[in-house]
Every structure is written in C-alpha cells, then in structure tokens.
C-alpha cells in the first residue's frame, strides 16, 4: 500500500522538463542527421512532390454516352441474305454507361403457343407416359409438361410440353461467330467530367478536335491516343484476348477512362487516359457457364391473326465504360498540415538517438547521469530550514 501511495505521489507531485545535453559522438551525431535526412526526403519527396500534399483534392463526377457504328451482311439458309446495322445488333438501344453489341445468336423462328416435344436430355427422354409428370415445369424446361410421351424424331421420344413451339435448341453454338465482322465496328464515347469543388469541367472530345478529324480518326494508343472513336477489335485485343474467340460466347469488357488533373497547371494538360481490361476473366480450370448472353423475342401476327414470335438467344460483348480520377489544386490548409506533420516527424530522430544513447551504448550510465537531474522542491526545502 505504501508503495502504491509513493507511486501515486510521484505521479501527482513531480514534474519533468527536457534537458539539453550536447553529446560529442560521431556515431550518434551521424545517426541523428541520417534519420533527419530520411524524414526530410520523405516529407519533401513523397508527401509534397509525389503525393502533392500541398493540394486540395476532389473526385470526378462524370456522364457518359456511347454510340456504335458499323454494317455487315450475312447469308444463311435460315435467314437468307440479310443486312445488319446498328438497330439490329445494339440491344437495348441505350444503357447507362454501357453498350451491348450482339456478335452471335441462336434464332428460333415462327414460334406459336401449342403442344410440342421437349428437346432431348437426361430429364426429358421417355419411353411411356409414366415417365412424364403432368404439370411439372423445371427451371430448365421449355414449358409445362402435359404428361404425355411423344415422338421427337424417328428413333427418340421426349415428354410433351405446352410451350412456344417449336422449342429452342441451344445445344450447338454457331462457330465462327454469326456477326464476326463486328470486330471492325466502332464505338464513339462522349465523356463529360466535372470537379465540383473547383468548378472545373471538361470532356474527352478535346477543343482541338474538329468534325472532319472525328469522321476519320480511330483510337491508337501510340499514334492517336485522344481519339474518342474505338475499333471493337482493338479494345478486346488491347486487353490480351482474341475478339473472334470472345465473340462466340460473349463477355464483358471494361473501357477505363482516367482523369488525373493538376489544376495548378494549364487546363489543356488535363487529358483523358484510356485503358482496357476484360471484366469477366475466364478461369480455364473452372470454365462453367462462360460468356454473356440473354434472350429476347420479336412478336408479330400471321395472316390468320395468330400470334407468333421469333426467339433470339443473343451472345455478345457488353462494353462497360468506367470513369475515375481526381483533381488537385494548391490550398494553404493541407500545406500547413503536412508541414506541421513533417516537423513533428523530425522528433523521431531525437527519440531514436535517446534510446541508443541511454540503453545501448557502453557509456549509457554516464549519459543517464548527464541526461537526468533530480531537484528537490525549493519551497519545501526553504520551509524545513526556517523550522530549524
């Protein structure tokens, strides 16, 4: 108990103040200056030069529109000679920060609602009606089972379903891609950015770009890095993939636009930087359900007034446009905060050298005697003398 009271009394009634001791030691002096130099290099080189710690920063606010262009022709036994333009292969016509280009498809024409045999697989092949459950509708079925086992072809029977007939057969995907010419289609990207903190705005169609130039330029990372028109094949190949392989099953590509602007410099130096990467990166060892596809239908009525539709399972590449970046401009507040932090860090050199001198060197006890001096309370000592 007495020991605790002594510790508490020392804590409450003792006061320590720094004492300056000049130690003439080459090792300690060199270590002190080295640490100080490293701290100064960090503050000046990293904080102020590289990270621009003297600037206030703001994140980009962005809007994006994209427009595809390109025409191609196909000639197949099912569709005959057909021209494909933007209205045919861009689905839907507008998306937010994205555009989907159909490159491959499975088409089922002239479907009507009725009864028809299901596509053969391990769950639909049957021998008698007993193998089919009436009213069942699995997640992968084309319709609702009637409970009957009917002929699919001359040698095979499957369960009958009430569905849009004939049902879709997507077991074989067209190779090469149906619209393989999409490799040469182009995509015009219009990107407007705004830094609200600095009230600074700009767009990726730069002031020096003319209408005539825009009609002829195609983006090239080396020769034309600021052209906002991109060839689809170039986008995919820049990310290290084959367009023709990706066009078969579809996928998702990211078009990244980076705006890093130093507003202490001229506004003309604030420029977009483009990069590309595949967002649905395929794992060769776990390649389950690859690519990107969806279904849509076109409805019409035949001359008899019966409703019909053409079902299309569309495979293609979705281009997601991702805009990011920040802007910086000189401001006195972050400048003073970082200067103060740098000065405070210089104290690390003193603390480190104190630890070395007082606990690691051979003459540590001698240095401790010089470093610390204990002084009794002057008023208390004076009172004791008067009592005597």
C-alpha distance across the termini of the chain, in Å: 31
What's the CA dihedral at 77, 81, 84, 87 to 10 degrees? -90
Asked if residue 16 is part of any domain, the answer here is no
pLDDT surpasses 70 at 344: yes
Is 72 among the annotated ligand-binding positions?
A: no
134 or 348: which leads in pLDDT: 134
Higher pLDDT, 5 or 332: 332
Is it the case that residue 386 has pLDDT exceeding 60?
no
Is pLDDT above 90 for 29?
Answer: no
Residue 20 located in a structural domain = no
Range of the domain at 50: 26-54+332-383
Are 271 and 344 in a shared domain? no
Residues 275 and 339 occupy one common structural domain: no
- Is there a binding annotation on residue 69? yes
Domain of 378: which CATH number?
1.10.287.940
With respect to residue 145, please indicate whether it lies within any of the assigned structural domains. no
Helix (H, G, I), strand (E, B) or coil at 353: helix
Confidence class of residue 387 from pLDDT cuts 50, 70 and 90? low
Contact 211, 228 (CB under 8 A): no
User: What's the mean per-residue pLDDT of the chain?
Assistant: 88
> What average pLDDT does this structure show over 19-45?
83
What are the tens digits of pLDDT across the range 227-263?
Answer: 999 999 999 999 999 999 999 999 999 999 999 999 9
pLDDT digits (tens, 9 = 90+) for 358-380: 888 777 777 777 777 666 665 55
Please indicate if the annotation marks 306 as binding a ligand. Answer: no
Distance (Å, rounded) from C-alpha 295 to C-alpha 213? 38
Q: Are residues 217 and 355 in the same domain?
A: no
How many angstroms separate the CA atoms of 258 and 151, rounded? 59
- 259 and 173 co-located in one domain: yes
Write down which residue in 289, 308, 330 finishes a domain.
330
Same domain, 360 and 251: no
Same domain, 220 and 325: yes
Lowest mean pLDDT among 12-21, 80-89, 187-196: 12-21
Per-residue pLDDT reduced to its tens digit, 41-90 = 999 999 898 888 888 999 999 999 999 999 999 998 888 999 999 999 99
67 a known binding residue? yes
Q: Is residue 233 part of a domain?
A: yes
122 assigned to a ligand binding site: no
Quick one: 49 and 66 in the same domain?
Answer: no
Q: Which of 309, 330, 351 is the last residue of a domain?
A: 330
329 is in an annotated binding site: no
- Say if residue 50 is in the same domain as residue 190: no
Is 336 within a domain? yes
Residues 359 and 253 reside in one and the same domain: no
Same domain, 33 and 86: no
Q: Are both 326 and 337 inside the same structural domain?
A: no
Q: Is residue 326 over pLDDT 80?
A: yes
Q: What is the mean pLDDT of residues 118-122?
A: 91
pLDDT > 70? residue 282? no
Segment 169-179 mean pLDDT:
91
Number of structural domains the chain divides into: 2
Q: Is 186 annotated as a binding residue?
A: yes
Q: Would the pLDDT of 312 be above 80?
A: yes
Of 285, 301, 330, the residue at which a domain comes to its end is 330
CA dihedral over 130, 158, 295, 280, signed as positive or negative: positive
* Judgement on whether residues 236 and 350 belong to the same structural domain of the protein: no
> Per the domain annotation, does 80 fall within a domain?
yes
Say if CB 307 and CB 112 are below 8 A apart: yes
Q: 294: annotated binding-site residue?
A: yes
**Burial class of residue 235 (count of CB atoms within 10 Å of its CB; 0-12, 13-18, 19+):** buried
**Nearest-angstrom CA–CA distance, 310 and 226:** 42
Predicted TM-score (pTM) of the model is: 0.81
């Amino acid at each position: 108990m007495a020991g605790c009271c002594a510790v508490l009394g020392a804590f409450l009634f003792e006061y320590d103040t720094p004492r300056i001791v000049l130690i003439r030691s080459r090792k300690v002096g060199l270590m002190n200056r080295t640490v100080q130099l490293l701290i100064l290099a960090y503050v000046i080189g990293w904080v102020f030069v590289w990270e621009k710690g003297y600037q206030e920063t703001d994140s980009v606010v962005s809007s994006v529109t994209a427009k595809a262009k390109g025409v191609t022709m196909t000639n197949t036994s099912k569709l005959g000679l057909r021209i494909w333009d933007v209205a045919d292969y861009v689905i839907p016509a507008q998306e937010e920060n994205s555009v989907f280009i159909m490159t491959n498809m499975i088409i089922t024409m002239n479907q009507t609602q009725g009864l028809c045999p299901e596509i053969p697989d391990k769950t639909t092949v049957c021998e008698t009606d007993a193998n089919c459950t009436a009213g069942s509708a699995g997640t992968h079925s084309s319709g609702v089972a009637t409970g009957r086992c009917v002929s699919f072809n001359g040698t095979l029977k499957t369960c009958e379903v009430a569905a849009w007939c004939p049902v879709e057969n997507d077991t074989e995907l067209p190779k090469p891609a149906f619209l393989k010419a999409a490799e040469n289609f182009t995509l015009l990207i219009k990107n407007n950015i705004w830094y609200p903190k600095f009230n600074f705005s700009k767009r990726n169609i730069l002031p020096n770009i003319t209408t005539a130039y825009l009609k002829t330029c195609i983006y090239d990372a080396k020769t034309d890095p600021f052209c906002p028109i991109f060839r689809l094949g170039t986008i995919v190949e820049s990310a290290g993939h084959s367009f023709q392989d990706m066009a078969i099953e579809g996928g998702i590509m990211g078009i990244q636009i980076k705006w890093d602007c130093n507003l202490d410099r001229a506004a003309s130096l604030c420029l977009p930087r483009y990069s590309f990467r595949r967002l649905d990166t395929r794992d060769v060892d776990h390649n389950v359900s690859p690519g990107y596809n969806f279904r849509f239908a076109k409805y019409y009525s035949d001359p008899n007034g019966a409703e019909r539709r053409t079902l299309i399972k569309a495979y293609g590449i979705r281009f997601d446009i991702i805009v990011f970046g920040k802007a910086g401009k000189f401001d006195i507040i972050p400048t003073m905060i970082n200067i103060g932090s740098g000065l405070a860090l210089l104290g690390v050199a003193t603390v480190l050298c104190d630890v070395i001198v007082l606990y690691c060197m051979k003459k540590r006890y001698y240095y401790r005697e010089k470093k610390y001096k204990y002084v009794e309370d002057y008023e208390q000592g004076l009172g004791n003398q008067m009592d005597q």
